[in-house]
Amino acid sequence: MNHSQFLITRSDDLRETKMKKLLKNHRQFILLFLVILPFYLYKLGEIPYGFFCDEAEIGAQSHRLAQGDLSVLKHGFFYEHFNYEYGALPVLSTAHLWAFLD
């Protein structure tokens, strides 16, 4: 075996060792990913992913609040969400993100 063949063999051994270490170190992550993946893919064509009307309403109210429209808040601790009053925590917790983005 000459020197270049030794280096190629050594390089292949190092790659194989790195791959084994990577799999060993991330085994729990890979297992968790494989467990969660079927739940994500279940009825993917029937159940849409993304923002639903509730999240969109919270985002719209947060944007209004970040623009300085305090009429969003009812009595300081509530906001109107599709003709119902809910606690304002979701709106207050995301309004600072809108202020940062604008």
Mean pLDDT of all residues in 30-58? 80
Mean pLDDT of all residues in 56-83? 86
What is the pLDDT at residue 7? 46
Confidence grade of residue 1 (pLDDT, cut at 50, 70, 90): low
Amino acid sitting at position 73: L
Inside any domain, residue 97: yes
Indicate if 95 and 59 belong to the same structural domain.
yes
Q: CA-to-CA distance for 38 and 48, rounded, in angstroms?
A: 15
Amino acid sitting at position 90: P
Indicate if 23 and 62 belong to the same structural domain.
no
DSSP state of 74: E
Confidence grade of residue 10 (pLDDT, cut at 50, 70, 90): low
- Cα 43 to chain centroid distance, Å, stands at 20
Indicate if 8 and 35 belong to the same structural domain.
yes
Q: Could you tell me which residue, 88 or 43, shows the higher pLDDT?
A: 88
What's the predicted TM-score (pTM) here? Answer: 0.48
Structural domain of 76? 53-101
Indicate if 58 and 26 belong to the same structural domain.
no
Q: Based on the structure, what is the number of domains in the chain?
A: 2
Inside any domain, residue 46: no
